[in-house]
Amino acid sequence: MKYQKLFIMLKQKNIKLSELITSGIISPSTLQRLRHDKPVSLHTLEILCRYLGCGLGEITSADHEKPHRNHRG
């Protein structure tokens, strides 16, 4: 998952990253995970969407560069 769209939206809405932390929306460690496109919980993404008044697709995009696991069945 990539979160570049999230940071673009925050900039467009003039929301500082520190505001997300001080208002209790996300923790500093979650912000680091988002900055480095690391996995975060769906619950965290839902909270961000509610705060920003947007949908999930407006703050995330799929990471097509990572290889998919082969499922054996």
d(CA 59, CA 62): 11
The whole-angstrom separation of Cα 24 and Cα 16 is 13
What tens digit of pLDDT does each residue of 26-59 get? 999 999 999 999 999 999 999 999 999 999 999 9
Q: Which residues, at least 6 apart from 56, have a Cβ–Cβ distance to it below 8 Å?
A: 45, 46, 49
Taken in order of first residue, the domains within the chain and their CATH numbers are 4-58 (1.10.260)
Closest alpha carbon to 6 in 35, 32, 26, 28 = 35
Give the residue, 10 or 68, on which the prediction is more confident. Answer: 10
Distance (Å, rounded) from C-alpha 61 to C-alpha 72? 27
- What number of residues does the chain have? 73
Return the pLDDT at 73. 47
